[in-house]
Amino acid sequence: MSMIFFACVVRVRDGLPLSASTDFHLSQDFLECRKRLKALSLILTQYPSRGTARGRDLSIHFLSSGEVASMVICSSSYSTIMAFCFLEELQWEFAAAYDTTSIGLASRPYAFLEFDNIIQKVKCHFNYTGCSQMKISLEKIQEELKFRPPVLLKLEDMELMNGLTNGGHTELYMGSVPTYRMQPVTAIGILSLVLNIMCGALNLIRGVHLAEYSFQEDHEGIGNVIAFFLPFLACIFQCYLYLFYSSARKMKVRDANLIWSAGWMRDVGLVCRMAQTRGPARPVCWSQHPGLIQQG
């Protein structure tokens, strides 16, 4: 007879389910226990690494280690030592299959659903294997539980409906603010990022050269120097908006584009001014800016 009914792996910091067994049980007790397991997974950070929530017919056991916690629903008559031995095995298999980086980057529920095959394999092993074949593991877990016993919870206290506890009072959330993950940068986005870096570098180089010329010969050309440095800052700012989240991103991108456009127009004016002051002996300025000829 099966004693382990359901098992899952969740991320500790936010309770995001990473993988779970695909068993379906239609009993009302099991469905209620699933709801309480979900509620418990959201507050695992408040408890030690091991815990047990016992009910009349079903019990929940959980084991957390690092960023991941494994949880199981099993019969209340099932041995606690066997349950934690099962969770240890599940934890080890998951850690061997996935690294901490992929776990931390998971943004959708059940991102590692293929791990269900391993869960079913381990569950079948524990449901139909005698204790004699796991004697060493059982003795190890028994010693650990004796040294650090799991925290005992009441299954009835795990109710969580729309943020209200059983007493009907609103529970204040004191956790950290949510983190935002942006969509992955596409190939066009990477190209735009590279072009922004190149344009920013060119504006910086030209601004430095013009600053040297202005300070030596033309002390009134400081405005032209600023005209190069502003697009440089706009390009750097656009790169920042590509890589980091900002709540006012669209508005800031618009402002950065306006600064870049203003700097480009200033650049065009500077070319015209240099062409006028240096006379017809420097027609190369026009050949290097064919866009000005078309606007001519």
| Those residues with Cβ within 8 angstroms of residue 150's Cβ, 6 or more apart along the chain or in another chain | 48, 50, 51, 52, 61, 80, 84
- Are residue 10 and residue 73 in the same domain, yes or no? yes
Average model confidence (pLDDT) across the chain: 74
Q: Does residue 181 belong to any structural domain of this protein?
A: no
pLDDT of residue 145 exceeding 70, the answer is yes
Place 246 in a pLDDT band, splitting at 50, 70 and 90: low
pLDDT at position 165: 40
- Are residue 196 and residue 142 in the same domain, yes or no? no
| Total of domains in the chain | 2
Q: Does residue 172 belong to any structural domain of this protein?
A: no
pLDDT at position 96: 92
- Are residue 151 and residue 258 in the same domain, yes or no? no
- Are residue 142 and residue 202 in the same domain, yes or no? no
Instruction: Return the minimum-mean-pLDDT range out of 127-141, 249-263, 280-294.
Output: 280-294
What is the Cα–Cα distance from 99 to 114, expressed in whole angstroms?
15
Q: Does residue 165 belong to any structural domain of this protein?
A: no
Q: Does residue 166 belong to any structural domain of this protein?
A: no
pLDDT at position 289: 47
pLDDT at position 262: 52
pLDDT at position 255: 54
Alpha carbon separation from 193 to 197, 199, 204, 205, 258 (Å, rounded): 6, 10, 16, 18, 18
Mean pLDDT of 62-73: 92
Q: Say which CATH number the domain at 140 has.
A: 3.30.450.50
- Are residue 116 and residue 193 in the same domain, yes or no? no
- Judging by DSSP bridges, how do beta strands 68-75 and 58-65 pair with one another? antiparallel
pLDDT of residue 12 exceeding 90, the answer is yes
Residue 52 parent element (H or E)? strand 50-54
pLDDT at position 237: 78
Q: Does residue 220 belong to any structural domain of this protein?
A: yes
pLDDT at position 177: 46
pLDDT at position 133: 52
| Those residues with Cβ within 8 angstroms of residue 91's Cβ, 6 or more apart along the chain or in another chain | 63, 65, 68, 70
Q: Does residue 170 belong to any structural domain of this protein?
A: no
- Structural domain of residue 291, as residue ranges? 187-295
The predicted-structure confidence for 166-182, as pLDDT tens digits, reads as follows: 444 444 444 444 455 55
- Are residue 150 and residue 9 in the same domain, yes or no? yes
- Are residue 24 and residue 146 in the same domain, yes or no? yes
- Are residue 129 and residue 192 in the same domain, yes or no? no
Residue 270's identity, in one-letter code, is L
pLDDT at position 166: 45
pLDDT at position 7: 92
| Those residues with Cβ within 8 angstroms of residue 153's Cβ, 6 or more apart along the chain or in another chain | 40, 47, 51, 52, 53, 54
- Are residue 216 and residue 289 in the same domain, yes or no? yes
Q: Could you tell me the pTM of the whole model? A: 0.53
What is the Cα–Cα distance from 46 to 35, expressed in whole angstroms?
18
Q: Does residue 175 belong to any structural domain of this protein?
A: no
What percentage of the chain carries pLDDT values higher than 70? 65
- Are residue 144 and residue 194 in the same domain, yes or no? no
Q: Does residue 39 belong to any structural domain of this protein?
A: yes
- Are residue 235 and residue 285 in the same domain, yes or no? yes
**Domain termination site, one of 141, 158, 175:** 158
What is the Cα–Cα distance from 87 to 94, expressed in whole angstroms?
10
Write the DSSP string, 5-38: EEEEEEETTT--EEEE-------HHHHHHHHHHH
Cβ neighbours of 28 (radius 10 Å): 8
- Are residue 119 and residue 24 in the same domain, yes or no? yes
pLDDT of residue 118 exceeding 60, the answer is yes
pLDDT of residue 94 exceeding 90, the answer is yes
pLDDT at position 207: 78
